[in-house]
Amino acid sequence: MYSTRCSRCLGVFMVPVAIVSTLANLLLLFPGMHYHYLLEDHVTSQAKWCTGIWISGFVMLFRVLNLCVAGLAAAICFIVSNTGLVNGPLCLHNGTEGLKWDTPLKKTKIDYLFEPERWASACDEPQGVVMWNIVLFLTIMAASGLQVTISAVQILNIVLDLQSCNI
């Protein structure tokens, strides 16, 4: 029966093995470090299938890559939601040119978030859209902030596991 420590150490060894496999497959594509063999189709089909790259390489590294991509995606989501919150909603409002669809709160300072008495008069249609935007964008920001934090903790856990593996 494997212990947790042994299991972690085996997982740690998967990373360098995946890197070696990827590099070996890349070298198979360029015999003698010359690219013309590949261009002239003088490389075996098994080497061209690149299983050392996409199966033994990337798939094994997918956990770390997935966490990095997930963290980046959540950070982008947070930034976009923050921009949506700062700009305010797109709504029908009475401007200097009459009724028009625009983002009237975008032209003001972010102070509108702290002045709820302005929310009802900012937009004629849809009703309550300012509160709607604030609540939903803040919800998305909270969720994506939590996702960034969880991804960072998981990546940190992997790094610490790599450092603490003593064999």
Distance from C-alpha of 72 to C-alpha of 101, rounded to nearest angstrom: 33
**Both tokens assigned to 102:** 């625009």
CB atoms within 10 A of CB 62: 12
Each residue's pLDDT tens digit, 36-82:
888 998 887 787 888 777 777 766 667 777 888 888 899 999 999 99
Q: Which has more pLDDT, 137 or 106?
A: 137
Each residue's pLDDT tens digit, 26-37:
888 888 888 888
Provide the residue type at 76 as one letter. Answer: I
Residues 6+ apart with CB under 8 A from 24: 52
Find how far residue 146's CA is from the centre of its chain.
13
Q: Tokens 């995946």 identify what position?
A: 18
Each residue's pLDDT tens digit, 109-145:
667 888 888 888 888 888 888 899 889 999 999 999 9
